[in-house]
Chains A and B, each alone.
Chain A
């Protein structure tokens, strides 16, 4: 161990509390900077990534964002319905490779119930299977009151194969809104780490037939009756999830629906809709970034204050060291070393702060949206931030180190006789 290390060790030991506070302040700054940067990237990837499995969403005329949030992220309310005939027309369109109807508006203990067809679970051409069943379970029979539940639903409601449940009307759980019909759980999906984990899937026909549901697909009202086939003209859907043959197909379809027609809205491409929305929140990201940078500068200020405050007391120490043979550069190095230990120690602890912030945010996001953020390791900020904080610490140490360097030895070795 060199003398410089011994001097640093001694000082950290002597000023234990202020050293600890300084290290914590640097750790907080490092963790915040890394978390803000990585969470931004991770959230963008999660919300605009391909895991959602569809290129576009067709729905009632209105907000494309609301359509995407409601159909793919199972958030918000539906902007309205479109007639079944429109779904059938879209399904037959040569530009479309897959069209899946959705009917929403019910829940079980707050988990959304979505009526759909078996097509929902079919693997689209050229795409990996989105829905995979857990062993011993199956997809629902479209003619029965059966349900397939997402992994998060199974975990949080303790529903399992063979269990029976009553749906509730509306997307927010209200005990008084219970439907009379019972549904059997026949399938449990494997975790997908997407909002689909928080959904209960039932046959769309069965959704139409829930007590109290009235269809208005043809402009007239129709209440489904037991044992009677529902005429297609009355059926309606909340949205249709679409996959297109190509980008060009999507583009021309977009022109047809959004520019030339007025009956519906096509949200396409879905990741761009989300991306544009997140971009509108750019000021939040900038504000968070600014806050994190301010914290970094404050932590550098803490290092400066901690070292400077101790300087009056330490001038005598430096004078003694010089009298014992230490050079000016030795005491300079000792103070700079201490600043680096404080900043780099804090930066290393900052990884822990980052992990806590990341996991906390990820937990909240998953609980509210079903989107899972995994810890990212490929972000430059994860190695750049500790370096920046280390450099800031070094800069903060320069002034006190210079004061130590310039200590008047004879003057500070008093008393004079």
Chain B
């Protein structure tokens, strides 16, 4: 059964000179429940725009984005926010942990927007990423690898159906990159969450059985300087 289905999605941005640039033109893209998929794309290829549209942070100019049976593109913003909180866990390239909060608070704050704070589950998640005893540490007191694991635990804090990971291991060295990726895949599997990782790193992409290129699903064309048009 389809968790995510994008049909004829078009997204353009305005240029300073008054013109428009089309960054996304997806005829059809589908993701079923529990699936783990990597999406390959170069810098500036529209990967983040795609993730922002899937998560409802951006709305397409045209087309349909069905998430768990609801069209994200047509929902009013508050309901989009609600659906995003309930169904999607977002993992950022730079982790985006909130600096003034502890590791545990970062998780329970994310929970508070959706299903209410659940410190017990948040602690168990931190334990599952190997951060037992680090609950009261603030991001600045953690190593980069530990911060990345807090970000992973936070993405799973609301028991999402889909985890979107944008270059999730870009800030880590090669050895930690593999460990982090294994953990990400394992935790999504045990939490029954689908996983969509976008990256341009072959070492990341090769770890997935289902692997796609953004250029295969995005029908926009690149200009000579490499930008999409």
Which residue numbers of A lie inside 8 Å of B, CB to CB?
1-3, 6-7, 10-11, 13-14, 316-317, 320-330, 409-410, 413, 415-417
| Known pairs A6-B109, A409-B57; A325 contacts B86 (CB<8 A) | yes
Give chain B nearest CB distance to A12 CB in angstroms.
9
Q: Are A415 and B94 interface neighbours, CB within 8 A?
A: yes
Q: Are A417 and B100 interface neighbours, CB within 8 A?
A: no
Q: Are B58 and A324 interface neighbours, CB within 8 A?
A: no
Tally A-B pairs: CB < 8 A: 92
The residue of chain A having its C-beta at the shortest distance from the C-beta of B86 within the complex is A325
Give chain B nearest CB distance to A16 CB in angstroms.
10
Report the bound CA distance from A3 to B118 in whole Å.
12
Report the bound CA distance from A413 to B95 in whole Å.
11
Q: Which residues of the partner chain B approach A330 to less than 8 Å between Cβ atoms?
A: 113
Contact of A325 among B85, B100, B198 (CB under 8 A): B85
Q: Are B100 and A13 interface neighbours, CB within 8 A?
A: yes
| Known pairs A10-B98, A320-B98, A327-B78; A413 contacts B109 (CB<8 A) | no
Report the bound CA distance from A323 to B83 in whole Å.
11
Q: Are A417 and B105 interface neighbours, CB within 8 A?
A: no
Q: Is B12 an interface residue (CB 8 A)?
A: no
The residue of chain B having its C-beta at the shortest distance from the C-beta of A10 within the complex is B100
Q: Which residues of the partner chain B approach A410 to less than 8 Å between Cβ atoms?
A: 48-49, 52, 57-58
Contact of B99 among A7, A14, A323 (CB under 8 A): A14
Q: Is B47 an interface residue (CB 8 A)?
A: yes
Contact of B90 among A324, A329, A417 (CB under 8 A): A324
**Residues 100-118 (chain B) with a chain A CB within 8 angstroms:** 100-101, 105, 108-110, 112-114, 117
| Known pairs A6-B105, A409-B57, A413-B57; A325 contacts B92 (CB<8 A) | no
Contact with A along B60-97 (1 / 0, CB 8 A): 00000000000000000110011011100010111010
Give chain A nearest CB distance to B79 CB in angstroms.
10
The residue of chain A having its C-beta at the shortest distance from the C-beta of B92 within the complex is A413
Q: List 28 A-B contacts (CB under 8 A).
A: A1-B117, A6-B109, A322-B81, A323-B57, A323-B92, A324-B90, A324-B109, A325-B84, A325-B113, A325-B158, A327-B77, A327-B78, A327-B113, A328-B77, A329-B78, A330-B113, A410-B48, A410-B52, A410-B57, A410-B58, A413-B92, A413-B96, A415-B93, A416-B49, A417-B41, A417-B44, A417-B47, A417-B198
The residue of chain A having its C-beta at the shortest distance from the C-beta of B200 within the complex is A417
Task: Kindly list 15 other residue pairs between chains A and B, CB separation below 8 angstroms, not including A324-B113, A327-B113, A330-B113.
Answer: A6-B101, A6-B108, A14-B99, A317-B98, A323-B90, A325-B81, A325-B114, A327-B81, A409-B57, A410-B57, A413-B92, A413-B96, A416-B48, A417-B167, A417-B200
Q: Which residues of the partner chain A approach B41 to less than 8 Å between Cβ atoms?
A: 417
| Known pairs A417-B47, A417-B167; A324 contacts B94 (CB<8 A) | no
Report the bound CA distance from A44 to B166 in whole Å.
71
Report the bound CA distance from A417 to B197 in whole Å.
13
Contact with A along B159-200 (1 / 0, CB 8 A): 000000011000000000000000000000000000000101
Q: Are A11 and B100 interface neighbours, CB within 8 A?
A: yes
Q: Is B55 an interface residue (CB 8 A)?
A: yes
Report the bound CA distance from A327 to B114 in whole Å.
10
| Known pairs A323-B55, A327-B78; A3 contacts B112 (CB<8 A) | yes
Report the bound CA distance from A413 to B204 in whole Å.
22
Q: Which residues of the partner chain B approach A3 to less than 8 Å between Cβ atoms?
A: 109, 112-113, 117
Contact of A10 among B47, B77, B94, B101 (CB under 8 A): B101
Report the bound CA distance from A416 to B110 in whole Å.
22
Q: Which residues of the partner chain A approach B57 to less than 8 Å between Cβ atoms?
A: 322-323, 409-410, 413
Kindly name the residue among A1, A327, A330, A413 whose own CB sees the greatest number of chain B CB atoms within 10 A. Answer: A413
| Known pairs A417-B47, A417-B48, A417-B166; A326 contacts B113 (CB<8 A) | yes
